[in-house]
Amino acid sequence: MLVFKFGGASVKNAEGIINLGKVVNKYTGNQLLIVVSAMGKTTNALEKLTKAYFNQADDVNEIYEEIKQYHYNILFELFDSTDPVFDEVANTFVEIDWMLEDEPHDDYDFIYDQIVSVGELVSTRIVNAYLNKINLKSQWLDVRGYIHTDNTYREGVVQWHKTKESILHHIPALLEKSIVVTQGFLGGTSENFTTTLGREGSDYTASILASCLNAESVTTWKDVPGILNADPKYFEDTIKFDELSYTDAIEMTYYGATVIHPKTIKPLQNAKIPLLVKPFNDPSAAGTVIKEDGHNNFAKPVIIIKQSQVLLSLSAKDYSFISEDHLSEIFRLFAQSHIKVNVMQTSALSFSVCFDHDEDRFKQLLQSLSEGFKAKYNSGLMLITTRHYTPASLKELTVGKTVLLEQVSRNTAQVVVR
């Protein structure tokens, strides 16, 4: 049994969905479970809608109509207007209609998950209908009834025992009869509310399903030839890795490599299931395989760029040394604000930390820190992480930039720059 994951770039238009059908058709001799992300930049658009609705902005309906029209344009390219998929998509959008009719809930993260999740629900309705149209028998599955999480909205924590029990109870029988199409990124609570697993979490969904079903492999189909040593948006002379070990992949995702969600690797490593990263426009290409004994000599350093960073420096209001008690309180407040640390550094009188800029969460953090600490910060920064670096390569990366923080170990260097 194979698990395929198709990201938003691979299903951003009718041409992409037709290509998905061609890829799937090459593997019809296998049991297939297909995980699909929201189409194109739909998640970004739904995030914009969520913020507008929460703030009761004037353009809520305008944003929402643009999202719906984008999907209907794709539908009209793929299907006759009498196809039942039009009603299925309309009924799925009703989940947003119901929310917009009411006053916003005071928990922004809860609203976020109920609205943003509709992107995956709609995309999978369309993909499932298209596969059936081209005579690839397919069954749509609502993943929220199988991946069970706690009530941590936007970062749902998977309840593994309950999840595995639900998956094994129902999905193997479906796979014997047809292809199964389901959503990435989503989970469900015991109260039947929707949670999401963290931004770009569809890879993680595929990993959860594969590990519970003991799949032969997981393939994530991307708009790149495989895993590269650096993002081609920033660097021209990138190279592709043919193989990586689970450990190398975990290190890369931990530091922010966006080609794979950080939580993806561990369930696959535990089950010894290989992860293939392949280009959806060239299905026969080898791509990159991540496995237990994956080997790479790292002829070029791995470079990971994270934009929109904040560098925050904290000191105690009584001018005392930064102690273990201070650090414990700081990390408690970071966890409470759901902010993840990317790099940190301690000196006698201050603690500096770099993290992704989320405006609302950052405001909450500053407010909670204000009682015990003085805070200074810079925003709009870049974090450069390089693994297997050389002194020359590190120097080249910082040419023409102001280095605000630098941390170097044997294998990894991290610099926060402006």
Annotated ligand binding at 7? The verdict is yes
Q: Torsion angle, CA of 147/150/153/157, rounded to 10 degrees?
A: -70
Annotated ligand binding at 5? The verdict is yes
Annotated ligand binding at 371? The verdict is no
For 34, 114, 129, 174, 209, the CA distances from 189, given in Å and listed in that order, are: 22, 12, 27, 23, 17
Annotated ligand binding at 16? The verdict is no
Annotated ligand binding at 187? The verdict is no
Annotated ligand binding at 120? The verdict is yes
Please state, as a whole number, how many other Cβ atoms lie within 10 Å of the Cβ of residue 360.
12
Binding site members: 5-8, 43, 120
Residues at the binding site for ATP are 5-8
Binding site feature residues for substrate:
43, 120
